[in-house]
Amino acid sequence: MEREVKDKSLLNEFVEDFLAVVDRNELKYAVVSGFVVISHGRARGTEDIDLIIERISLESFDRLHCNLVEAGFECLQGTAPKDLFNDYLEENLSLRYVRKGLFVPEMEMKMAKDPLDEKQLAERTKLPLTGLPFYFSTIETNIAFKEELLKSPKDLEDARHLRIIYSEKLDEDKVNEIKTLIRKFRLND
């Protein structure tokens, strides 16, 4: 069974509906990784959208989770907000939300876990070339993660795609700064 979603409009609608709930809860967020590249025209499928949200309390998460359920989403790891918060988010693990009754796409949501995630939230931006109203991590951040941390063939091709699109605007010093932070906070160099 194929788990990748290749219909860009389906992904956009899913993200829009999910982020509408996040926005109603007045939470700072940034969409990161593969969906950034897909939003820039790279033809590839994905099964999940990666989302970083600011660190929140159990009470704030309880409200967010209940609002997501009311909006037609369900969490694949369970239904009890307190358990989800304590067993996943507080442990720096992701929660996966889908539309009720469907397996894909998934929103893989995690709270900011270190200064690198905090930086992504602080520098989040809307990317006009996508035509989407969402906040994304910067292009430089996405390239740095794909080249320095993830490094799969798909990730390296994603980075190459973004480098081509933003060749005139790319801040290479910023890419290198993020790579340094990745080595410090994720690779423990």
pLDDT category, 70, cuts 50, 70, 90?
very high
The percent of residues in the chain predicted with pLDDT above 70, rounded, is 96
Of 57, 55, 51, 59, residue with least CA distance to 19: 51
The radius of gyration of the chain's CA atoms, rounded to the nearest angstrom, is 16
Angstrom distance (rounded) from CA 147 to CA 87: 30
Q: Specify the CATH number for 8-185; select among 3.40.120.10, 3.90.1150.10, 3.40.50.300, 3.30.460.40.
A: 3.30.460.40
- The sign of the torsion formed by the CA atoms of 15, 16, 17, 21 equals positive
Q: Identify which has the larger pLDDT, 188 or 36.
A: 36
pLDDT category, 3, cuts 50, 70, 90?
very low
Q: β-pairing, 48-53 with 29-32?
A: antiparallel
The pLDDT of residue 156 is 97
Instruction: Give the other-Cβ count within 10 Å of 55's Cβ.
Output: 14
Domain chopping of the chain, boundaries? 8-185
The pLDDT of residue 7 is 52
Our CA angle for 176, 178, 180, nearest 5°, is: 70
pLDDT digits (tens, 9 = 90+) for 145-176: 999 999 999 999 999 999 999 999 999 999 99
How many C-alpha atoms does 71 have within 13 Å on its Cβ side?
A: 22
Our CA angle for 147, 148, 151, nearest 5°, is: 55
Q: Which two tokens stand for residue 7?
A: 């219909």
Contact (CB, 8 A) for 21 and 64: yes
Least-confidence region, from 114-118, 127-131, 136-140: 127-131
The pLDDT of residue 8 is 57
Q: Is residue 71 pLDDT above 90, yes or no?
A: yes
Q: Is residue 43 pLDDT above 90, yes or no?
A: no
pLDDT category, 59, cuts 50, 70, 90?
very high
